[in-house]
Amino acid sequence: MATSEAALHSPTGAHGHEGTYSGGIWSWITTVDHKRIGILYGLTALMFFVLGGIEALIIRLQLHGPNAGIVSPQVYNQLFTMHGTTMIFLALMPLGAAFFNFVVPLQIGARDVAFPRLNAFSYWTFLFGGLFLYSSWFWQAPDAGWFGYANLTSTQFSPGPGVDFWFLGLQLLGLSSLVAALNFAITILNLRAPGMKLMRMPLFTWMTLVTSFLMILAFPAITVGLVLLMFDRFFDAGFYNVAVGGDVVLWQHLFWIFGHPEVYILILPAMGIVSEIIPTFSQKPLFGYPVVVYSGVLIGFIGFGVWAHHMFAVGMGPIANSVFSATTMIIAIPTGVKIFNWLATMWGGKIRPKVPFLFAFGFIIMFIIGGLSGVMHASPPADLQQTDSYFVVAHFHYVLFGGSVFGLFGGIYYWYPKVTGKLMSETLGKWHFWLMIIAFNITFFPMHFLGLQGMPRRTYTYESGLGFHDLNLVATAGSFLLGASFLFFFWNFFRSLKKGEDAGENPWNAATLEWAIPSPPPHYNFDTLPTVRSRDPLWAEDGYEKPAADQEPEMPAGSGWPIVVSSGLLLLAIAAITSHLWLVGVGVLIVFVGVYGWSFQPVYR
């Protein structure tokens, strides 16, 4: 441990910087501080997580028994469309972005991201995109599925504004993600502290880098697909219209070229978090660091060559199905390697089963189940029975809930003390964990059986003679227990802000740089930039060095222009949905004024 530096790195003492978050609402609207933006991302994501969860509970209520009439078929279709879209674009991705924002600059020893105002722009565009999408509930929510398969999304089969809300909202969210991804890739490549070589970067930063490249490369595909859809819907273009020579399968390729990397965009940050938590709570460095890094890179890379495994039943023929089957099976290898390295990290360690560790461990044991069922439908003939059935619903919930959600909530428990300066309650955290992992399995494990018994997904009801009743009832009961488990989380989350014990700089005795500064960190993070000499700077003898500071560094001033540009874009989406040409003019004007003001505003005041 770098105890020799202890006296040097915090001129204001170990009690943190309450000033980091002080200031009125205006200071939050104009903030360009990555830590504040991270918190905004996190809170917004949690809000949408709750909304998506409520949608899921209504879905489960409707499916509790055969021929139930809790909601109409159309509302049911809207619910599952919004549930999927919400959880992917408005909850899990932004929760990942919350950690990228808060943690990555601290881990690499930087004072902020490369483009702080662009970072604020990403957040506001995400928020407005989410609110825009949710405002559809007051008119007509989209009901063509989160995957929006053409030609069900055409004006012929989906008249009304629902699908317009969906693709315009996704375009805003896509822009936000793309800008954020560029920002993070550039930050990680350029703003590392001296000595923080690529192969010394913490695993979470590494996975953020890989995820950023995935976003940069994957989002253009869906953007193109959505632009074609927009031309079809607004101007009758016919890209997906069979009657005029279009092709509906084109959409599926464009969507899944984005959609599969998207799965890794959701899981890799969680894997990064787990790769931080397991070593910390085993008190051992990560086993096989380079292998874990390379396997993450490899997963990202191969992730672009597997998209058509979502389409084995489309009729692509034996050659294409064989190739995509092979690539999909190959991706299981680096995934397995990661799991074995986590196992080896724990092996011979001194494991402290604190709440963050429980969630990370929950991630591993649940993700394995999702990975194994994934291998089952990597085999196209087997997939012909499984695709679009509840077996697949079970599979991807084991990956995205058992995986991503467990990992991301582990991350919340892990970094909460750094963000707030307070420890969360271990007791409430354990209640949350045990209730969540038990309820999660009661909810989703039966769905494997339902799928194999022939229950297709996206069906608002089922008939009584099909034998689906009992297991659906079990799943519904589990889902409400699962929802209840989060009450413990939110109680803990808000209670600890006031009543939590002081965390100090490094409550978990972790090895990475973010734990070398006070909790919460001062707004400039590091008064002087550290020089890093080890992969585990806080554990290694002489792992890093940080000269004493004689003054506070100057930080970029807040700016109101990013939110102006974002609101101009929001207005453009509103103009498109209401078909008001003059509103387009206003939106463009606001964007222009915003970009102009932004460009000529000095960074420092």
Partner 1 sequence: MPSKKATWRRGSWLVLGLVLVVGLAGCTGVLPQSTLHPVSDFGQRIDDLFRRIFWFAVGVFVIVEGLLLYAVFRFRDRGGEGRPEPVHGNTRLEIAWTLAPAIILVLIAVPTMKTIFIVDNPAPASSNPLQINVIGHQWWWEFEYPEQGIVTADELHVPVGRTVQLNLTSKDVIHSFWIPRIGGKRDVVPGHTNILWFTVDSAGEYPGQCAEFCGEEHALMRALAVAQDSATFRAWVDSVKGPAREPADSLAMQGKQLVVNGICISCHTIRGTQAKGIVGPDLTHVGSRQTLAATILENTPENMFLWITKNDSIKPGNKMKIPQLPADQVRKMVAYLQSLK
CA-to-CA separations, 56 to 50, 520, 521, in angstroms, rounded: 10, 35, 37
Question: What DSSP element (H or E) covers 112?
Answer: none
Return the residues of window 156-175 that contact partner 1 according to CB under 8 A: 157
Please give the full DSSP string across 462-495, using - where no structure is assigned.
--GGGS-HHHHHHHHHHHHHHHHHHHHHHHHHHH
Q: Known catalytic residue: 373?
A: no
Q: Does 438 bind partner 1 (CB under 8 A)?
A: yes
CA angle, residues 46, 37, 275, in degrees to nearest 5: 70
Does 333 sit near partner 1 (CB under 8 A)?
Answer: yes
Stretch that binds partner 1, among 94-102, 322-330, 524-532, 568-576 (CB under 8 A): 322-330
Question: Could you tell me if 99 and 35 are in contact, meaning their C-beta atoms sit under 8 angstroms apart?
Answer: no
Question: Dmax over Cα atoms in the chain, in whole Å?
Answer: 78
Distance in angstroms (rounded) separating the CA atoms of residues 148 and 253:
12
Window of 122-130, 260-268, 415-423, 453-461 that interacts with partner 1 by CB under 8 A:
453-461
Contact between 187 and partner 1 per CB under 8 A: no
Amino acid (1-letter code) at residue 7: A
Among 74, 190, 578, 579, the residue binding partner 1 under the rule CB under 8 A is 74
Catalytic residue among 86, 176, 211, 443: 176
Whether residue 83 lies in the annotated active site:
yes
Query: Which lies closer to partner 1 via its Cβ, residue 204 or residue 342?
Result: 342
Q: Is 454 in the site for partner 1 (CB under 8 A)?
A: yes
Active-site residue, 469 included: no
Interaction of residue 471 with partner 1, rule CB under 8 A: yes
28 closest CA partner among 18, 20, 36, 17 = 36
Selected catalytic residue, list 264, 289, 416, 515: 264
> For the window 475-514, what string marks contact with partner 1 as x by the rule CB under 8 A?
----------------------------------------
Q: Catalytic residue at 260?
A: yes
Among the listed residues 5, 112, 383, 514, the single catalytic one is 112
Which of 321, 472, 476, 485 is close enough to bind partner 1 by CB under 8 A? 321
- Judged on CB neighbours under 10 Å (0-12, 13-18, 19+), 388 is middle
**CA proximity to 342, closest of 296, 289, 278, 269:** 278
Number of residues that bind partner 1 (CB under 8 A): 103
Q: Which residue matches tokens 């192969």?
A: 199
What character string, x for contact with partner 1 (CB under 8 A) and - otherwise, covers 11-50? ----------------------------------------
User: What DSSP element (H or E) covers 531?
Assistant: strand 531-532
- Among candidate residues 55, 143, 232, 262, the one labeled active-site is 262
- Note if the bond before 67 is cis, omega within 30 degrees: no
Selecting among 309, 354, 535, 546, the annotated active-site residue is: 309
One residue of 12, 190, 322, 579 binding partner 1 per CB under 8 A: 322
Residue 583 is a binding residue for partner 1 (CB under 8 A): no
Residue 361 and residue 389 in contact, taking contact as beta carbons nearer than 8 Å: no
Among 14, 186, 227, 313, binds partner 1 (CB under 8 A): 313
Measured from the CB of residue 201, what is the shortest distance to partner 1 in angstroms? Answer: 16
Shortest approach of partner 1 to residue 168 CB, angstroms?
A: 21
Compute the distance between CA of residue 361 and CA of residue 191 in angstroms, rounded to an integer. 32
Question: Which residues, 267 to 306, sit near partner 1 by CB under 8 A?
Answer: 282-285, 287-291
Shortest spacing between CB 15 and partner 1, in angstroms: 27
Q: Which of 299, 293, 292 is nearest to 328 (CA)?
A: 299
Tell me the Cα Rg of the chain: 24
Contacting residue, 65, 238, 456, 553, with partner 1 by CB under 8 A: 456
Contact map string, positions 203 to 242, toward partner 1, x by CB under 8 A: ---------------------------------------x
Nearest 10 degrees: Cα torsion 433, 438, 444, 445: 140
CB of 151 to partner 1, least distance (A): 6
Q: Catalytic: 55?
A: no
Has 579 been annotated as catalytic?
Answer: no
Catalytic residue among 9, 36, 60, 83: 83
Nearer to partner 1 (CB atom), residue 368 or residue 593: 368
User: Does 337 contact partner 1 by CB under 8 A?
Assistant: yes
Nearer to partner 1, 136 or 187 (CB): 136
Instruction: Respond yes or no: is residue 253 known to be catalytic.
Output: no
CB atoms within 10 A of CB 550: 8
What residues contact 357, with CB distance under 8 A and at least 6 apart? 277, 278, 280, 281, 351, 410
11, 53, 65, 145: residue in contact with partner 1 (rule CB under 8 A): 145
Please identify, using beta-carbon distances, which residue of 278 and 573 lies nearer to partner 1: 278
Q: In the complex, what is the shortest distance from the CB of residue 360 to partner 1, in angstroms, rounded to a whole number?
A: 11
Q: What are phi and psi of 531, to 5 degrees?
A: -110, 125
Reduced to 3 states, what is the DSSP secondary structure of residue 58? helix
In the complex, least distance from residue 454 CB atom to partner 1, rounded to whole angstroms: 3
Alpha-helical runs (H) found in 519-580: 561-578
For residue 349, which phi and psi values (nearest 5 degrees)? -90, -175
Enumerate residues 338-397 that contact partner 1 by CB under 8 A: 339-341, 343-344, 346-353, 361, 364-365, 368-369, 372-373, 375-376, 379-389
Catalytic residue flag (residue 44): no
State the virtual CA torsion across 260, 263, 269, 275 in degrees, nearest 10: -100
Measured CA to CA, the distance from residue 596 to residue 66 in angstroms comes to 59
- Segment interacting with partner 1 (CB under 8 A) among 225-233, 243-251, 484-492, 576-584: 243-251
115-123, 469-477, 497-505, 594-602 -> range binding partner 1 (CB under 8 A): 469-477
Footprint of partner 1 on residues 102-131 (CB under 8 A)? none
State the minimum distance, in angstroms, from the CB of residue 97 to partner 1: 29
Measure the CA angle with vertex 603, ends 602 and 605; round to 5°: 75
Task: Give strand pairing partners of 422.
Answer: 502
Q: Could you confirm whether 338 is annotated as catalytic? A: yes
The number of angstroms, rounded, from the C-alpha of 117 to the middle of its chain's C-alpha atoms is 21
Sign of the CA dihedral running 580, 584, 589, 591: positive
Work out whether 318 is an interface residue with partner 1 (CB under 8 A): yes
**Which residues are tagged catalytic?**
83, 112, 146, 176-177, 260, 262, 264, 275, 309-310, 335, 338, 457
